[in-house]
């Protein structure tokens, strides 16, 4: 059994925020793989289902981002799981929009949700880092992550979520390479290795031209013409 956690803030006013991309990821997994209805448990909302041969609980904490660890820790202890059975989907400022990386352990890099989870279950859990880009200056970060995605972001956000849904069974099976490949096929599909065959062009129609006359042909034509003239005409030609 595993727990896939999506990080975000509860409430409709936050639903489209960049900080809520983790919620969006587990919502897509639930939708694509026929998970059961969301229910209130563990200070959050959970949905039960299967990904391939693995039983998985999806969890969206209702504790707000900076207390996410309370919900995650409660669920993990209830099911008697280890941190290695937990995978957290979260926004990542240090990755370009649409990039996806998988990591196990390590620091929280100042992310409030991860900091809280570290405090409740330690650092030995898995993370799926979902790039949202950086606003450029530290003082702009809070407003940036709590602002909705722009309309133009749909060009990479929708393929990213589709790839996550497609690759979720591979992630549950522990095959991160196949999971990342499933995401990449949606976000940056490969171009065809062969260029389309060029259509053969018909030769340009050439203007009709009279065949060039060779010297021999000219002489033959003149001789033929001479043979058709009467003796009187040939005699008159000599005095012209």
Collapsed DSSP state (helix, strand, coil) of residue 40 = strand
Residue 216, pLDDT above cutoff 50: no
Whether the pTM exceeds 0.85: the reply is no
Active-site pick, 19, 111, 118, 126: 19
Percent of the chain whose pLDDT exceeds 70: 80
pLDDT at 240: 53
- Count the neighbouring beta carbons within 10 Å of the beta carbon of residue 135: 16
Give pLDDT tens digits for 80-104.
999 999 999 999 999 999 999 999 9
pLDDT at 208: 44
Would you list the domain boundaries of the chain?
Answer: 2-187
DSSP letter for 126, please.
E
> Domain 2-187 classified CATH 3.40.50.1470?
yes
pLDDT at 109: 87
Q: Which residues contact 39 (CB under 8 A, 6 or more apart)?
A: 45, 46, 47
Lookup: tokens for 39: 């229910």
Give pLDDT tens digits for 21-70.
999 999 999 999 999 999 999 999 999 999 999 999 999 999 999 999 99
**What is the length of the chain?**
240
Q: Where are the beta strands (DSSP E) in 63-119?
A: 86-92, 100-104
Active site residue 126: no
Contact 127, 103 (CB under 8 A): yes
């Amino acid at each position: 059994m595993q727990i896939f956690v999506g990080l975000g803030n509860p409430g409709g006013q936050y639903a489209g925020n960049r900080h809520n991309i983790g919620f969006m990821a587990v919502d897509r997994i639930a939708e694509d793989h026929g998970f059961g209805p969301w229910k209130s448990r563990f200070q959050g909302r959970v949905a039960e289902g299967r990904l391939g041969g693995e039983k998985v609980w999806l969890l969206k904490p209702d504790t707000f981002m900076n207390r996410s660890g309370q919900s995650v820790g409660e669920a993990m202890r209830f099911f008697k799981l280890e941190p290695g059975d937990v995978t957290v989907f979260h926004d990542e400022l240090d990755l370009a929009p649409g990039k996806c990386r998988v990591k196990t352990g390590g620091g929280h890099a100042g992310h409030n949700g991860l900091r809280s989870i570290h405090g409740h279950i330690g650092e030995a859990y898995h993370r799926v880092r979902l790039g949202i880009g950086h606003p450029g200056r530290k003082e702009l970060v809070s407003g940036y992550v709590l602002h909705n995605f722009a309309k133009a972001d749909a060009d990479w956000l929708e393929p990213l979520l589709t790839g996550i849904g497609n690759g979720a069974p591979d992630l549950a099976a522990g095959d991160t390479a196949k999971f990342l490949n499933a995401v990449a096929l949606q976000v940056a599909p490969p171009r065809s290795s062969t260029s389309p065959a060029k259509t053969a062009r018909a030769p340009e129609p050439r203007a009709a031209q009279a065949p060039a006359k060779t010297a021999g042909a000219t002489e033959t034509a003149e001789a033929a013409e001479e043979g058709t003239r009467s003796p009187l005409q040939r005699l008159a030609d000599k005095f012209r």
